[in-house]
Chains A and B, each alone.
Chain A
Amino acid sequence: MVSLESLIVLLPLLGAVIIGLGGLANAAFRKQEGLIGWLASAMVLIPFGIVLTRFFGYQNMPLSFSLFSWMQAGGLDISFSYKLDDLSLPMMLVVTGVGALIHIYSIGYMHKDPGFYKFFAYLNLFIFAMSNLIMADNLVVMFLGWEGVGLCSYLLIGFWYTDMIKAEAAQKAFIVNRIGDFAMLVAMFLIYQMFGTLDFSLINAEAANPVAEAAGNRYFWITLLVFVAATGKSAQIPLFTWLPDAMAGPTPVSALIHAATMVTAGIYLIVRLNPLFLASPEVLMVIVVIAALTSVMAALTAIAQNDIKKVLAYSTVSQLGFMFMALGAGAFTTAIFHVITHAFFKACLFLGSGSVIHAMEHAHAAEDPQDIRTMGNLGKDMKSTSLTFWISTLAIAGIPGLAGFFSKDEILSSLFFNGFENQVYFAVWAVGLFTAILTAFYMTRLAWLTFNGKARYKTGAHIHESAPLMTIPLWILAVLAVLGGYIGLPYLIGHGEFHLFNHWLGDLVVNRDLHHALEEHAVFEYLLLALAFIVSIGTVLFARNLYSKHDLAADDKVKGFFGKFYGVMAGKFFWDELYDTILVRPFAWIGSKLLRPFESDGVDGIVTGAGSAVAGIGEVFRRLQSGLVSNYMVLISGGVLLVLTYLIFG
């Protein structure tokens, strides 16, 4: 019996199959853009509706359902079972909600693209994989979704695969992700070895058991490997290099997959396994340090980029760093909180940038439609895009009252109060604060250079606002970027009484207990809030003044401020070059040396040897085929005799 919940998983898959096969089979179907687009959107909207009803009718009882048993071997019993609980419900709301908006936006964005049907088939497939990832009740089904979103990411980055650069970016994303996936597999093996099960609930129950906790850091390797897997999917040092390149895909894809949903999979997974991580503080320390480094590095890089999508991509890496910092501080609910608010404003920013690129392309306003140096004053002609982009910019910059403020402040304060236990967190907090300043700065720079100031595109080019199909999702996301933060009011207000989100997650996700530090050092809470106010507003105003006064020339002032270091920032800290030198080229060299002995002589030799051996044997035995009936009869009789002899005497 198919329950209503199972439609959440099945409908997107159905959509992908119908659209994909229909488009493959029928050229006329491919041209039905309205039909394809709205069908695909419906396949996400209906699940969104179902999730919404389940969310509001939630009775603190996880809704489980199982489709069928996948594999059974000994004690291992893996079935396609899903669970809608405290954690997966809000995540599914974000994925299907933002996903549906982006589907609708894409109908406008992908208009007249020859691969229209393919795009929507992939998008639906992605939603299917992502639902699997989030709702999975065990690690294997989760891993299926994990690989599935990786595949969709690959397909969509390389969507315009005739462009070699884009195809290579897709390959890069796939291969870099593979490293993380390998770590994930090994982690799963270790988990099975240690717990004898792959069900999340059983693992967590075992890990939360205080007796097991006392046994020391048995979980060190598991959690470290899960974290490595997460760095691959969620773009942290050292595996983040694929994400900036992933911007080669269509912009809605960047918004959906590479900003709002897929890249948060690593964070989701760690939160899902939070008892394991709470029991291994060393790994939390590793996470928080790496996250801080990633975050500040990406923010510095973003300042020196001129491609609108590259800036947003590094901003995403930086914000993911924030989320990991929260994880490292043991503030798991805060990380998910930031995942959700970030999904709203970053999706809005990406869709806004897509709207800009769309307009620039159609007006043939510049050589490179993504270069902010050739934009400027677009806000005059693109009111909706400009306004929503600014709202989201202010949200991500942490302006008080908008969504980003609440979640980012919560992350910083949890880092700070962890500092009373372990001084390292103070340093991380400082780095986080610095990153927040940088974030406010580069986002203001991006928005200002794009929408305000002097027009730098070709004179005479007519920039048009995008169609309502594209601006309506922008507005919805902008509204969410404003309101999204109010589900989590700071601890200061009623001692966390009004932090709805924490209450929601409270049963399932256990944060590191900071009550003590919070009560003892309550005064710092006020100071931190005040600091957040000053820093965010101050930085935004500073950047706005700088760029409104000097326009593009303000970049030179920034260059002067950073000195030689600016070259490193513009060069993206040379990670690609580093990997190229220490990994890619040695491999290529070894490969070229080993090609002849192994490939041509060894493997090919065996293969051709097998072939010629068969040919040689055939050369001998085909003499049996004399074509003479009597010979065959003799052979048949011989065979019959042998069988008879065996039957009688054998």
Chain B
Amino acid sequence: MMDFFTPNVYSYLAVSALMFALGAVGVMTRRNGIVVFMCIELMLNAVNLALITFSRMHNDPAGSILVFFVMCVAAAEAVVGLSIVLAIFRNKLNIDINQVNIFKW
């Protein structure tokens, strides 16, 4: 009984996959630009979780370091992304990404 509840690598990976899928669904369904953006952050975190799990499993620092870098890039990305959201808001007065489609055919 206890064995089932004892977490192993698979448990963490499954949680990670679930979160990733949820994030992807969010990107596909939401129309608010900031929320889409947050969903992307969620996907990044899901991947981070998997990375640390592997790092722990192999007792190797590379995974942890990579997570560190991903966080840095995510921070940079958040800054740039939010300023883009601001620029869009300034032009359109909302941030509904379904209305940002000037690259349409």
Contact = CB atoms under 8 A, between A and B. Distances in A.
Contacts of B103: 625, 627
Interface residues of B, number: 15
Interface in A600-632: 622-623, 625-630
B104 A625 contact: yes
B36 A627 contact: no
Interface stretch (B3-11, B22-30, B51-59): B22-30
B1 interface: no
Interface string A306-336: 0000000000000000000000000000000
Given A637-B24, A637-B28, A630 B97 contact: yes
Interface string B66-102: 0000000000000000000000000000000110111
B47 to A, nearest CB: 14
Contact of A633 (B28, B31, B98, B100): B28
A629 B40 CA distance: 13
Contact of B97 (A622, A623, A625, A628): A628
B36 A629 contact: yes
A2 interface: no
Contacts of B29: 630
Contacts of A628: 97-98, 101, 104
Given A628-B97, A628-B98, A633 B24 contact: yes
Contacts of A630: 27-31, 36, 97-98
Nearest to B24: A637
B31 A627 contact: no
A313 to B, nearest CB: 66
A62 to B, nearest CB: 67
Nearest to A619: B105
Contacts of A627: 100-105
A553 interface: no
18 contacts: A625-B104, A625-B105, A626-B105, A627-B100, A627-B101, A627-B102, A627-B103, A628-B98, A628-B101, A629-B36, A630-B27, A630-B29, A630-B30, A630-B36, A630-B97, A633-B27, A633-B28, A637-B28
Contacts of B98: 628, 630
A630 to B, nearest CB: 5
Interface of B: 24, 27-31, 36, 97-98, 100-105
A634 interface: yes
Contact of A634 (B28, B97, B104): B28
Interface residues of A, number: 11
A616 to B, nearest CB: 14
A623 B24 contact: no
Q: Which 10 A-B pairs rank lowest in CB-CB distance, beginning with the nearest? A: A627-B101, A627-B104, A622-B105, A625-B105, A627-B103, A633-B28, A633-B27, A629-B97, A634-B28, A630-B28
Contacts of B36: 629-630
Overall SS of chain A's interface: helix
Contacts of A637: 24, 28
Nearest to A621: B105
A628 B28 CA distance: 10
Given A627-B104, A630-B27, 7 more contacts: A627-B100, A627-B102, A629-B97, A630-B30, A630-B31, A630-B97, A630-B98
A71 B34 CA distance: 63
Contacts of B101: 626-628
A628 B101 CA distance: 6
Interface in A233-262: none
Contacts of B30: 630
B73 to A, nearest CB: 20
A357 to B, nearest CB: 68
A637 B27 CA distance: 11
Contacts of A623: 105
A623 B100 CA distance: 16
B98 to A, nearest CB: 6
B34 to A, nearest CB: 13
A626 B103 CA distance: 8
Contacts of B28: 630, 633-634, 637
A497 B101 CA distance: 97
B29 to A, nearest CB: 7
B85 to A, nearest CB: 12
A331 to B, nearest CB: 79
A637 B39 CA distance: 15
Nearest to B104: A627
Nearest to A625: B105
Nearest to B33: A629
A191 B100 CA distance: 71
Contacts of B104: 625-628
A211 B20 CA distance: 84
A623 B105 CA distance: 7
Interface string A46-75: 000000000000000000000000000000
- Which residue, of A622, A623, A628, A634, has the highest number of chain B Cβ atoms within 10 A? A628
B39 to A, nearest CB: 10
A626 to B, nearest CB: 6
A625 B28 CA distance: 16
B103 to A, nearest CB: 5
- Which residue, of B28, B30, B101, B104, has the highest number of chain A Cβ atoms within 10 A? B28
A625 B104 CA distance: 6
Interface string A121-160: 0000000000000000000000000000000000000000
A644 to B, nearest CB: 11
A629 B81 CA distance: 14
